[in-house]
Amino acid sequence: MNQATMEQVLKDAEVALGHLETEGALEAWYVKYFGRENGEIGKLLKTIPELPPQERGTVGKAINQGKQALEAAYEERRGRVASAAMQEQLRGERIDVTLPARGQLGGSIHPIMAAKQELIDLFAYYGFTVADGPEIEDDWHNFTALNTPTDHPARDAQDTFYLPDGRLLRTHMSSVQIRAMESGKPPLRLIMPGRVYRRDDVTKRHYPIFHQLEGLMVEEGTTFAHLKGLLTALCHELFGKNRRVRFRPSFFPFTEPSTEVDVECPFCGANGCGTCSYSGWIELGGAGMVHPNVLEAVSLDPEKVTGLAFGMGIDRVAMIRYGINDIRHLWENDDRFLQQF
């Protein structure tokens, strides 16, 4: 080895070092020049004994100086690369404190519960309080006490969910009317909002679970005029003061006389639209005077007290109030739907 070769090796190492940008490349460079087995610097040092004795000192000193300079340059370069990597990482992870906070999704009242509460508030004004009962009911409270003969289609397993022990999921809130009349004495003014079950196929307008609100008023001197006045006032509160309300003769086993209650469609002014099936009227529910047989079933004397009863679908009221055209939306828990309320 001559002086020129030695200087070239040191020069090449210095130039190569100046181009390194990553820790991986730095490591490779270090192994190439300072590796214990085949490092270039080591190789240079090994050639010293082959030199003429008078040159050994000078060359050895020069190699060691070059070695120290390269090590210092290496440390400096390594520091700069690490610092650049850190800066890069910080840029990627930077927190922009000026971004608006994501916040938490606020909950809201489900439309069924909102309609239910609105109805409870309206009836409270007329002195009605809320009564409750079990969702798993016995035959007596759901059918027999309600003047529903054993061959009535409502008892059919096609329409009702029966449990193995003969009990059933209540098909209407009328069962709570019976319980209320069994446990309380007239005068009674009660509403029963709750969940009821029928074996319906799932369609736009039907669902096997739905919500009903039934009402019961049992007092001496209660007449059909009270029934009409009460439900007309309710329709006006719900759908507007000038809406016409009509009562159509109907049949229910537990009321006599019985009526269907319709209100003029608030969406089309009774001209006909999709919501009212182009009839101009919306069916609110059924009503009537409590059948004497029902009063007798709960040990009341129909000659002394009379009663009025009514029922309506809470889901239906919610759909009309909020313009919901498919009952399934009420059950699917789709955020895109629920966030509108």
For Zn ion, the closer of residues 46 and 248 by Cβ is 248
Specify the residue, 267 or 331, whose C-beta has the smaller distance to Zn ion.
267
Site string for Zn ion, 297-336 (x = CB under 5 A): ----------------------------------------
Total number of residues shown for the chain: 341
Residues between 97 and 136 with contacts to Zn ion, criterion CB under 5 A: none
Q: How many residues bind Zn ion (CB under 5 A)?
A: 6
> Quick one: which of 137, 341, 275, 302 has its CA closest to 218?
302
Q: Looking at beta carbons only, is 154 or 268 nearer to Zn ion?
A: 268
For Zn ion, give the closer residue by CB, 176 or 284.
284
Residue with Cβ nearer Zn ion (188 or 320): 320
The region that residue 240 occupies, defined by phi over 0 for left and psi between -120 and 50 for alpha, beta otherwise, is: left
Question: What's the CA gap between 122 and 140, in Å, rounded?
Answer: 31
Give the span between the Cα atoms of 335 and 22, in whole angstroms.
48
Give the type of residue at 176.
V
CB of 280 to Zn ion, least distance (A): 6
User: Which of 71-79, 94-102, 169-177, 257-265 is the region at the interface with Zn ion (rule: CB under 5 A)?
Assistant: 257-265
User: Given the complex with Zn ion, which of 223 and 277 has the nearer CB atom?
Assistant: 277
Distance of closest approach, residue 248 Cβ to Zn ion, in angstroms: 17
Half-sphere exposure of residue 253: CA atoms within 13 angstroms, side-chain side? 15
243 counts as binding Zn ion under rule CB under 5 A? no
Coil, helix or strand at residue 212? strand
In whole angstroms, what is the distance from residue 201 CA to residue 208 CA? 7
Q: How far is CA 1 from CA 16, 32, 69, 207, in A?
A: 22, 19, 21, 96
Q: Which is nearer to Zn ion, 26 or 268 (CB)?
A: 268
Least distance between Zn ion and beta carbon 312 (Å): 18
Choosing from 188, 234, 265, 289, the residue that interacts with Zn ion (CB under 5 A) is: 265
Residue range at the interface with Zn ion (CB under 5 A); choices 130-138, 143-151, 258-266, 289-297:
258-266
Residues facing residue 81 across a β-bridge? none
Q: Which is nearer to Zn ion, 120 or 268 (CB)?
A: 268
Give the footprint of Zn ion on residues 266-285 (CB under 5 A). 267-268, 273, 275-276
Spatial separation of the C-alpha atoms in residues 158 and 153, rounded to whole Å: 9
Contact region with Zn ion (CB under 5 A), list: 148-156, 179-187, 191-199, 261-269: 261-269
Q: How far is the CB of 323 from Zn ion (least distance, A)?
A: 11
Pair of tokens at residue 240: 């507007």
Query: For residue 333, how many other CB atoms are within 10 A of its CB?
Result: 9
Question: In the bound complex, what is the minimum distance in angstroms from residue 207's beta carbon to Zn ion?
Answer: 22
Give the dihedral sign, CA 235/238/244/248: negative
CA distance 84 to 21: 9
By the 8 A CB rule, do 260 and 247 touch? yes
- Name the site residues for Zn ion (rule: CB under 5 A): 265, 267-268, 273, 275-276
